[in-house]
Chain A
């Protein structure tokens, strides 16, 4: 796509209270706009922790992070909410849909918070839900959906606010291989159609093969070749 860096993380450290060793120990990562990056590494290596920081869900203990050229590591919690709303879509392993909301309501939620008026946000959401193949499930509750369907709704929600960066933390982790592959295909399709930057945490080497680039994390550090360690996990 383009070669300008949308994600620039420098020397990120993350120390949790009551823990002696840092979970992230000086991670530096640059991702170009439009890239697809696979983030891999053994369990407990700090992948989710890094994703949460990249997604502005959590702040780093130390280090700098700029998103789209803007330093976001020092923002207030209100400002970080604004960044999440307009720049970032997040897909979780465990879906995180709101259980008393319908599919349509879940997908319109980012647009609601962005202040888009009702008709427009519903029109946009319906289009997206049809796009992920759930046009017949608009008024269902999450509990009435299969795992794969839930993740499709979550993806539709993650991109409904037209983010620049889509972060997916083991999006297929809770799904069987077939459903997981379908979800991966959907993510790649959407990446293609929307020209966004995609970072995917995965344990699955097959999934990683779809990506432009692989980044390996081990013991809170990025390691040059992590193939062996990932296989151990």
Chain B
């Protein structure tokens, strides 16, 4: 029957249109199942990659050492973080590649015609190397600037916009605090907003020595940013750094550490572990929703199976071969499940796009995931729709006709 084969799909579409209730219910079950599946997968991966992004912004092979000077429970016995600590770490550790000190306080900034209060950081040129932070314009200050306490500053794009609008800030002068005029020598590339809402581009970097001389560092540095030679050496470096710091601070055996230490990579590992569990959970829920969609399809099929079994009996009594009947039901199942699954992909895509936009997530559904979900949904639909028909087609026509 080669002539009629081309008609089979057309007939399946017509049947779907003529039984709108059955069609909509079948498609709805699959659409919701596939849509929920995709939404869950997208939420899971989106949440995870946003967590990972946050850790990457803080540097991938970095250990942070914080001062305890501002902690009351140390009763003034803690020693400040100093250049001596920086030198000791670089000299005594085999695993540490760079150390950048950091002190950050909010200061008032003034350009020729505007004022803007923001955080100002005193640090070393290694800051941008450790953070892997390229320049948009100009350059970073260098060791000579640090030695000479040069009055130079490197700013982020938000600060540039607030103080200079559309003007080129490089070469302009800003006044930091009461009386520290600094020439702007560079602008950092934009890193945008973090998921926490913190604007990474709200940043002003000046040499640590300049900061100390003109703004003062009463409790020393707030933090030492330590870059390890290789990610695999992170743990070793953290173990190594403790005695070096203790020696440098001349702590006695019985005294506890007067500094704290942590690494985003370690936290990232924990976060990755937790978000893996979460993703697994979400995918589990998603699989269940797809199954529920499939059961929905099966229910519709079971409800209509009496009606359809009679129809199969009629077609068979007229003389349709089992194969012709199966082709028809297969075509119907494919048409319904495929369109239902496509609708589900559309639903899932809309849901995940909306959520990704609301949460400022970058990760979204891959084409492969969507195609996979559509394929899976179609197979579920075809299986649940086709199997009852196949069973009916194998009946003697008279038995199918008698089916109530």
Binding site for B on A (CB under 8 A): 52, 55, 57-59, 77-78, 81-86, 88, 90, 92, 96-100, 109-110, 112-115, 117-118, 157, 161
Q: Which of B114-122, B158-166, B316-324 contacts A (4 or more CB under 8 A)?
A: B316-324
Main SS at interface, chain B: helix
Shortest CB-to-CB span from B332 to chain A, Å, is 12
Give the complex CA separation of A55 and B4 in angstroms.
25
Q: Name B18's closest neighbour in chain A (CB-CB).
A: A100
For residue A55, which residues in chain B have a CB less than 8 angstroms away from its CB?
A: 317
- A-B pairs, 5 with minimum CB distance: A85-B319, A84-B319, A115-B1, A57-B398, A58-B398
Question: Is the Cβ of B317 less than 8 Å from the Cβ of A90?
Answer: yes
Q: Name A101's closest neighbour in chain B (CB-CB).
A: B18
Question: Is the Cβ of A98 less than 8 Å from the Cβ of B321?
Answer: no
Return the CB mask of B1-29 against A: 1 if under 8 Å, else 0.
11110010000000100110000000000
Return the CB mask of B164-192 against A: 1 if under 8 Å, else 0.
00000000000000000000000000000
Tell me whether B311 is interfacial, beta carbon within 8 Å. Answer: yes
12 residue pairs of the A-B complex, CB under 8 angstroms, read A57-B401, A58-B399, A81-B322, A84-B317, A92-B401, A96-B313, A96-B317, A112-B4, A113-B321, A115-B1, A115-B2, A157-B318
Cβ-defined partner of A100 (8 Å) among B15, B317, B399, B401: B15
Give the complex CA separation of A13 and B350 in angstroms.
64
Question: Is the Cβ of B3 less than 8 Å from the Cβ of A98?
Answer: no
Shortest CB-to-CB span from A170 to chain B, Å, is 14
Return the CB mask of B387-404 against A: 1 if under 8 Å, else 0.
000000010111101000
Cβ-defined partner of B3 (8 Å) among A84, A110, A115, A157: A115
For residue B1, which residues in chain A have a CB less than 8 angstroms away from its CB?
A: 113, 115
Given the known inter-chain contacts A96-B317, A115-B1, please indicate yes or no for A59 contacting B322, CB distance below 8 A.
Answer: no
Cβ-defined partner of A81 (8 Å) among B15, B313, B321: B321
Tell me whether B315 is interfacial, beta carbon within 8 Å. Answer: yes
Return the CB mask of B303-332 against A: 1 if under 8 Å, else 0.
000000011011111111111100000000
Question: Is the Cβ of B319 less than 8 Å from the Cβ of A57?
Answer: no
Binding site for A on B (CB under 8 A): 1-4, 7, 15, 18-19, 310-311, 313-324, 394, 396-399, 401
Give the complex CA separation of A149 and B181 in angstroms.
101
Give the complex CA separation of A112 and B318 in angstroms.
11
For residue A78, which residues in chain B have a CB less than 8 angstroms away from its CB?
A: 321-323
Q: Name B5's closest neighbour in chain A (CB-CB).
A: A115
Q: Name B314's closest neighbour in chain A (CB-CB).
A: A96
Shortest CB-to-CB span from B140 to chain A, Å, is 75
Give the complex CA separation of A85 and B320 in angstroms.
7
Shortest CB-to-CB span from B393 to chain A, Å, is 9
Shortest CB-to-CB span from B301 to chain A, Å, is 16
Question: Is the Cβ of B322 less than 8 Å from the Cβ of A86?
Answer: no
Shortest CB-to-CB span from A233 to chain B, Å, is 21
The residue in A81, A85, A110 that gathers the most chain B C-beta atoms within 10 A of its C-beta is: A81
Cβ-defined partner of A113 (8 Å) among B19, B311, B320: B320
Shortest CB-to-CB span from A64 to chain B, Å, is 18
Given A77-B396, A78-B323, A112-B4, 17 extra CB contacts under 8 A: A52-B398, A57-B401, A58-B397, A58-B399, A78-B321, A81-B320, A83-B319, A84-B319, A96-B401, A98-B314, A98-B315, A99-B311, A112-B7, A113-B315, A113-B320, A115-B3, A117-B3
Question: Is the Cβ of B396 less than 8 Å from the Cβ of A161?
Answer: no
For residue B19, which residues in chain A have a CB less than 8 angstroms away from its CB?
A: 100
Give the complex CA separation of A90 and B401 in angstroms.
13
Question: Is the Cβ of A81 less than 8 Å from the Cβ of B319?
Answer: yes
Cβ-defined partner of A82 (8 Å) among B2, B321, B394, B399: B321
Give the complex CA separation of A90 and B399 in angstroms.
15
Cβ-defined partner of B319 (8 Å) among A59, A92, A100, A113: A113
Question: Is the Cβ of B401 less than 8 Å from the Cβ of A86?
Answer: no
Given the known inter-chain contacts A98-B311, A100-B15, please indicate yes or no for A59 contacting B396, CB distance below 8 A.
Answer: yes
For residue A88, which residues in chain B have a CB less than 8 angstroms away from its CB?
A: 319
Q: Name B11's closest neighbour in chain A (CB-CB).
A: A112
Give the complex CA separation of A59 and B322 in angstroms.
16
